Chains A and B, each alone.
Chain A
Amino acid sequence: MRLRVRYAKTGKLRFVSAIDLGRVWERALRQADLPIAYSEGFSPHPRVSFPDALPLGYASTGEYAQLTFAAPIALEPGVKALNTAFPDGLEVLAAVEVAEGAPKLAKWLRASCWDVAYPAGVALAEPVLALEAASNLPVLRERKGDPVTVDLRPSIHQICCAGAALRVTLHHVEPPVRPSEVHLALRVTDPDLPEPALVTRVAQGEPAFTDGPGAAEQRPAGLVEALSGALVPPLPDCRK
């Protein structure tokens, strides 16, 4: 039996690395007495796969995992037992059984919606407008020790703000674009922009659009969450 879950990694757990997180999952599954399957071979590993890693320090309510069980489990009590076993800060929010022949989980996760919380009082409207207006957004990145310039523009599906809150939906590209790089791009307009207090991945899924005024014109409109199909909208007053 295979399950896909959406889970949250918040609070103190945001300082736990992706490698360590795998062990936390394994131990919680064992404490919850759930029959997780193990790989064959010399050192068996629990069959829990994570499509992508959340950078250390970021919180998330939109992490995903796929679990393979050696025997069928009852969904609701199973999730409840797992959540009881998890340390504070880890919580499964939704779980669905995977149908035979379903496409890979990673195929459903085409973009991430991020909430970036700046310290209270920070004004984001101007740098966000400037960022939207720019036709390219060069950001310096290090690759194998060498500096390279990357254009963020094509990776940004939508960016909006309300007060000191920023919401940005980023396409999944390789190598991935991080909210910290969006922050760097905003600092081109406002060099005094302070570091965000907290970055949270809200959800992952398909980039969403609405119809524009013209025929066949499409406007970005948030993201459709992968497991539920629910819309994660842009911030309500981002155009003001």
Chain B
Amino acid sequence: MNVTRSPVSVWPQLEPILTSVRKPARYVGGEGNIVVKDVAAADSAWLLVYPDAYEVGQPNQGVQILYEVLNERPGTAAERGYAPWPDMEAVMRERRIPFFSLENHLPMRTFDVVAFSLAAEVGYTNLLNCLDLGGVALHAADRTDDDPLVVVGGHAAFNPEPLAPFVDVVCAGDGEEFVGELDDVVRRSRRGGWERQRLLDEIVRIEGAYVPSRYSAEYLADGRLRGTFPRRDGVPYRVRKRTVSDLDAWPYPKRQIVPLTETVHERYSVEIFRGCTRGCRFCQAGMITRPVRERSRATIKQMVAEGVANTGFTEVGLLSLSSADHSDILGLCGDLADSYEGTVTSLSLPSTRVDAFNVTLADELARNGRRTGLTFAPEAGTERMRRVINKMVSEADMLRTAETAFANGWRHIKLYFMIGLPTETDADVLGIAELGLKVAGIGRQHGRRNKVTVSVGGFVPKPHTPFQWASQDAPEELARKLGLLRRRVASDHSLNLRYHDPKPGVVEGLLARGDRRVAAVVERAFALGARFEGWDELFDYGTWMRAAEEVGVDVGWFTRRERGEDEVFAWDHLDSGLEKDWLWKDWRDAIDAGTELEDCRWTPCYDCGVCPGLDLQHQTGHLPIFSAAPS
């Protein structure tokens, strides 16, 4: 690794051009609570990049947590970077301004580690663009001892194969402990003047570290994957994910960065628990973050009190995958509502399940008087379909919840659904409209101006879920189903139907379940100008299809093919803790019988494999169930 470091800020080049680009505040740094260290004197320097626009990336919890964890280490400097908007990219290329950090405005190549947070697949071309702008070789194989180490982590990194040629290291699972261990190795490498290959060999030994160059992918004659195998001894056959067992020991963010310009979430956010065992079969987040680990009420209250005081935010978000499932949620919400009653500080509880209890919670949190909208995610329109996806909400539950909400003064209910689910029929699709119309009808009984929004997205099968074997609907089929919905609700004025263009879902599906051969598509699409796949105004389907065709990848083979039991997946060597046998059984239960599965926090263990594999248990206040036998 490069031992000497002579950081030169790009600010003098940047400052004169900032008034010529849109929203210049996203490139200036200088936000509240940032940590600005002397990078020249640091033992190690990290650049944490969220490969999307500043306003999307800045509020990301993962980056925020690791930024604080790393900067609390003496001698370690961590700075942040975000993908430049196309107008800025053009100026940077014209003026040869390299990709830079926001704290000291240092070029990417100044840093020892460039770590990308991959919350979703739609940032992959931006990742390549950031490296390219930073003057770092796109292919890991082309990097020299002077180049930074390119690391990825986050949910989408649970299938990193479409990025395998471009990244040096993948972090599987929670990053809090991992980054410290990687930082230790990087420092030893700098002190010892190691060559890059030695550094990578050492990193392989860190639990949760996957080094793609140490593995090779082999294929069968029919094109399916034979397996991804270690190239040499000492490289683990499977990489086990990292799991932080005690979230109270990692109470981050403590000092959340306060942006100077508008972002998508303007709030102090605290994760009240991590993991979810609801068992929704489509949900990757719920599968890969097991087991459930709760933060205590005392820790959460302290984090909120300090977080609000040192940021000045007026909103507090209590985050998790299903917030009302915290074993102490009523007490927690009551305490927080008491603390902020009569102030302008508002509390929000995103991701709540459909039941009247959640309306009670929402009422509690909205004591300050603002009862605008409530959001629920029934996900599917009929009970049959909901049994298949294991989202156990009855129609009666939904209608009772709506009745309670509108009766308590809420005026707008938003309902989230998916179409394109396995075994879905037109009746299931129309069920979405029927349910939405019934909820709208209840709304009208409580007030002429009450509204219901039905938001519909196309289902994309994800790795490490029971639906990883499923076929994805073609965009034409999704468009036809959306047409059915549109016609059914057209005459109703209190129901507002929202939906997305189904085409970006094809690219998301390709990247989600792609293997190493798909990396060529990503690289070609980037070369053809693809950027910001998550932005409708910038996404270009034609570019992606052309890229796939040029490199000889059949997109349909990856997206619209139902896999068999013996299929080897490109992500099988990344161990999320889930037993593949269990996932297969759950998949068959879903499509053969539509059998539901209870939450294992309050019913007996069904052997998904996570807890014994990680030598962990749920860390919750729910009473454990020791036996299913009736007493």
A interface residue numbers (CB < 8 A to B): 11-13, 15-17, 19-20, 23-24, 26-31, 33, 38, 42-44, 56-57, 85, 87-89, 197
- Kindly list chain B residues whose C-beta atoms are within 8 Å of the C-beta of A20: 25, 260-262
A23 to B25, CA, bound (A): 13
Residues of B within 8 A of A38 (CB): 344
The residue among B260, B262, B266, B311 with the most chain A CB atoms within 10 A of its own CB is B260
Minimal beta-carbon separation of A122 from chain B (angstroms): 15
Contact of B32 with A by CB under 8 A? yes
Chain A residue at smallest Cβ distance from B26 = A15
B29 touches A30 (CB 8 A): no
Contacts of A11 in B (CB 8 A): 30
With A17-B25, A27-B32: A56-B19 Cβ-Cβ less than 8 Å: yes
Q: A15-B25, A17-B25, A38-B344 are in contact. Are A27 and B30 (CB under 8 A)?
A: no
B199 at the interface (CB under 8 A from A): no
**Contact-residue bracket for chain B:** 20 to 34
The answer to whether A23 and B28 have CB atoms under 8 Å apart is: no
Assuming the contacts A15-B18, A17-B261, A43-B370, asked whether A85 and B312 have C-beta atoms less than 8 A apart, the reply is: yes
CB distance from A142 to the nearest CB of B (A): 17
Determine whether B564 belongs to the interface, using a CB cutoff of 8 Å to chain A: no
- The smallest beta-carbon distance between B518 and chain A, in angstroms, is 39
Contacts of A44 in B (CB 8 A): 344
Given contacts A26-B312, A27-B313, A28-B312, contact A57 B29 (CB under 8 A): no
Q: How far is the CA of A197 from the CA of B18 in the complex (A)?
A: 12
A125 to B313, CA, bound (A): 50
Residues of A within 8 A of B258 (CB): 27, 87
Inter-chain contacts of A26 with B (CB < 8 A): 312, 314
What is the CB-to-nearest-CB distance from A236 to chain B, in angstroms, rounded to a whole number? 29
Alpha-carbon gap, A87 to B370, bound state (A): 30
The answer to whether A15 and B309 touch across the interface, beta carbons within 8 angstroms, is no
Quote the shortest CB–CB distance from B205 to chain A (angstroms).
42
Binding site for A on B (CB under 8 A): 16, 18-19, 23-25, 27-32, 258, 260-262, 266, 308-314, 344, 370
Provide the bound-state CA to CA distance between A11 and B31, in Å.
12
B16: contacting residue among A17, A33, A197, CB under 8 A: A197
B314–A89 contact, CB under 8 A? no
Q: Is the CB of A88 within 8 A of B30?
A: yes
- A24 to B344 alpha-carbon distance, docked (Å): 16
- Contact at B344–A16, with CB atoms within 8 Å? no
Q: Which residues of B sit under 8 angstroms from A28, Cβ to Cβ?
A: 312
Query: Given A16-B261, A23-B262, A57-B19, A87–B24 Cβ distance below 8 Å?
Result: no
Identity of the chain B residue whose Cβ is nearest the Cβ of A25 in the assembled complex: B312
Residues of A within 8 A of B262 (CB): 19-20, 23
Q: Are A89 and B19 in contact (CB under 8 A)?
A: no
Contacts of A23 in B (CB 8 A): 262, 266
Q: Which residue of B lies closest to A58 (CB)?
A: B19
Residue pair B260, A13 in contact (C-beta under 8 Å): yes
Closest to A57 in B: B19
Query: Could you list 28 A-B pairs, sorted by A, with CB under 8 Å?
Result: A13-B30, A15-B19, A15-B27, A16-B25, A16-B28, A19-B262, A20-B25, A20-B261, A20-B262, A23-B262, A23-B266, A26-B312, A27-B258, A27-B311, A29-B312, A30-B312, A30-B313, A31-B32, A31-B311, A33-B309, A57-B18, A57-B19, A57-B24, A85-B312, A87-B31, A87-B32, A89-B30, A197-B16
A35 to chain B, nearest CB (A): 11
Question: A42's closest neighbor in chain B, by CB?
Answer: B370
Contact call A56/B261, Cβ cutoff below 8 A: no
Q: Is the CB of B24 within 8 A of A56?
A: yes
> Distance in Å from the Cβ of A199 to the closest Cβ of chain B?
10
B262 to chain A: closest residue by CB = A20
Contacts of A24 in B (CB 8 A): 260
* Interface pair A12/B29, CB less than 8 Å apart: yes
Chain B residues whose C-beta falls within 8 Å of the C-beta of A88 in the assembled complex:
30
Of all chain A residues, the one with the shortest Cβ separation from B19 is A57
Q: Which residue of A17, A19, A31 is within 8 Å of B312 (Cβ)?
A: A31
B19 to chain A, nearest CB (A): 4
Sorted nearest first, the 4 A-B pairs with minimum C-beta distance are: A27-B312, A30-B312, A57-B19, A12-B30
A49 to B464, CA, bound (A): 53
- Greatest chain A CB density within 10 A among B261, B310, B313 is at B261
